[in-house]
Amino acid sequence: MTDVTNYLKDIFKDIIQELMEAELEEKLGYAKEERSAKNTDNCRNESSKFWLGVMNDLKNRGVQDVMYPAKT
């Protein structure tokens, strides 16, 4: 079962990433690389309260695992 789960995660990770980026873009009102957004109060470095809300929303939608890239 673990092999199947890992396989499905691998297949869908790019699609889920694109969907999450599109949802964030819609919520903030600007694209990730958009320079004009620098003059707004919205930013992509949101507070922990914001991300807790995002994670709770995903949980309420039935998402059980979330993979995210981290810069090292």
Domain that holds residue 27: 2-60
Residue 70 belongs to some domain of the structure = no
DSSP string, the chain: -HHHHHHHHHHHHHHHHHHHHHHHHHHHTS-TT-GGGGGSS--SS--HHHHHHHHHHHHHTT----------
pLDDT at 18 (0 to 100):
86
Give the residue with greater pLDDT, 22 vs 45: 22
pLDDT at 45 (0 to 100):
60
Residue type, 20: M
Tens of pLDDT, residue by residue over 27-66, are 877 777 776 655 666 555 666 777 788 888 888 888 887 7
pLDDT at 21 (0 to 100):
86
Residue 27 belongs to some domain of the structure = yes
Residue 71 belongs to some domain of the structure = no
Q: Is the pLDDT of residue 72 over 70?
A: no
Q: Is the pLDDT of residue 6 over 80?
A: yes
